[in-house]
Structure 1
Amino acid sequence: MTAPVYVCDDLSDAEEGSTLVLDGAEAHHAATVRRARAGERIDVVDGRGTRARCVVAEAGGARLALDVRERVREQAPRPRITLVQALAKAGRDLQAVETSTEYGASRFVPWAADRSIAAWKGKEDRGRARWEATALAAAKQSRRSWIPEVTPMLGTDGVVALAVREGATLLVCHEEAREGLPDARVENLWIVVGPEGGIADRELEAFREAGGRPVLLSSNVLRSASAGPFAMAALSGMRLVAG
């Protein structure tokens, strides 16, 4: 069984043979919720690819002393996949974030699409924090050392501008597209998933002008919550995406 994962922002001093002290919410969860005990294996990651393989030396209510057995540097997921996920009602966007993190997504862009029913008006920071918390929990559950980034919420023009600036390869999930997912070997791949009401014509045209390619994921119509994870799973099969 793989070791559970906890997060510490700074692992620069976590050298082999050293003692790493984990405190705060992570230590509380490990010691109180999971009831970690001396001798148990635990991995600590910094969210940026560094993993410290540890053994619990001492467990207290709000503190964990860990013996560092090994520190490794793991490669970032390749290709780097950004999921542009339209805001969706009933927490379906959070479902997409959770499952796509498990499949290796590197970044999420909350998209205020023209037809999005859900809105973050005046609550952008709170909405982004919920996405970040969901991505963090899913990354820990799937034992990832790389935690996906969540950008600020963007409208369509902002999404297009960022994609152009980064030179991204844009795949726009659309039920009227005629082509499936390509097996293109690219480094910076973006998957665009619209809201339940679909992507507006003017948005689709804007993505096309930015080099976007409409793709059909399935002969069945997928919900906004499942389209992104479906694409991630398909790409994982083609490219062995992992992180």
Structure 2
Amino acid sequence: MSHLYLDESLDLARVAPGDHVELTGDEARHAVTVARVRPGERIAIGDGRGILVHGVVTSTGARALVLEAAEIVREKAPATRITLVQALAKGDRDELAVQAATELGVDAVVPWAATRSMSRWEGPKAEKGRQRWAAIVREAVKQSLRSRLPEVAPVATTAELPDRLAGARILLLEPTAATALTVVRPDGRDLAFVVGPEGGIAPGELDRLIAAGAEPVRLGASVLRTSTAGPAAIAVLSVALGRW
């Protein structure tokens, strides 16, 4: 299996088999000095926008390596995008959710400052937290050999969510909901899953989001942790969407 390295500044659209692609900067340094990639090894280089170039490394330097392209994979953007709205949670539970959701194919992530969130991103901490999640997403993309890099949006309040998710079908993961997620069928709109924190979504937030058009759905009889609910929902809908 190839190891994947990302460089969003690369223009891979015109690369053909036999061409040489140069990877530079921190990503190349990590490949050469940390992962110890050497000439003759097979790796992949991606632009994060749907193109992966697989090939064999022909040369390496301290902060550069050159790949001879053998196979170019061009993947179209999904017809139905999936967004995970993940409530901020204590410990690393929200980060675990973001990591797993990325591996499972989520297309965008929105950090949510829910009423019952124990963790708070305020002031400079807000951008620092977003960057932390973006780094987790990037590493998960590389681990899972995905061609597209999901965007991590700035943290949103409950009041901001309807505008942030305008045009999408919003599904609230709520254990007491009457509708099971397994009976939901895609209708052509993008999908957004809203996952609450450890204490669940507050009643006032449920009312506000439902009034904005969100649909409460349940995953099953058991109550999942905030770290597993979103990824589980993505897995269910990936079958309905034909992704799996």
For residues 204-227 of structure 1, the C-alpha deviation after alignment (integer angstroms, 9 at most, x for no partner) is 112112211100112111111111
Task: Write the distance in 2 (CA, Å) between the matches of 1:160 and 1:109.
Answer: 12
Q: Using the TM superposition, give the Cα deviation of residue 33 of structure 1 relative to its aligned residue in structure 2, in angstroms.
A: 2.0
Which residue of 2 is the match for residue 221 of structure 1? 223
Which residue does the alignment assign to 1:10? 9
Partner of 2:155: 153
TM-score (norm 2): 0.93
CA contact (8 A) 2:4 2:44 kept: yes
Moved more, 85-94 or 60-69: 60-69
- Please list every run of 5 or more consecutive structure 2 residues that lacks an aligned counterpart in the other structure: none
For 1:227, what is the secondary structure of its paired residue?
helix
Deviation at 1:78, TM superposition (A): 4.2
Counterpart mapping for 1:36-75 below 5 A? 36-75=37-76
CA distance in 1, matches of 2:180, 2:79: 20
**Structural mapping, 1:157-196, within 5 Å:** 157-163=159-165, 166-181=166-181, 182-196=184-198
Structure 1 residue 70: Cα displacement: 3.7
The DSSP-based 3-state class of the residue aligned with 1:57 is: strand
Gaps of 5+ in 1: none
Q: Distance in 2 between matches of 1:116 and 1:29?
A: 35
Question: Is the counterpart of residue 212 in structure 1 residue 211 in structure 2?
Answer: no
Q: TM-score, normalised by structure 1?
A: 0.93
Count of residue pairs the alignment pairs up: 239
Describe the superposition over 1:62-101 as per-residue Cα deviations: whole angstroms up to 9, x where unpaired. Answer: 2111112343321223421000000001011100000000
Cα deviation, 1:24-62, whole Å, max 9, x if unaligned, reads: 221122112222121221111111112222210012232
- State, as a whole percentage, how many aligned pairs show the same letter: 45
Question: Secondary structure at 2:159's aligned position in 1?
Answer: helix
- Aligned-partner SS, 1:205: helix
Distance in 2 separating the partners of 1:187 and 1:42 = 36
User: Could you tell me how far apart the structure 2 residues matched to 1:10 and 1:118 are?
Assistant: 34
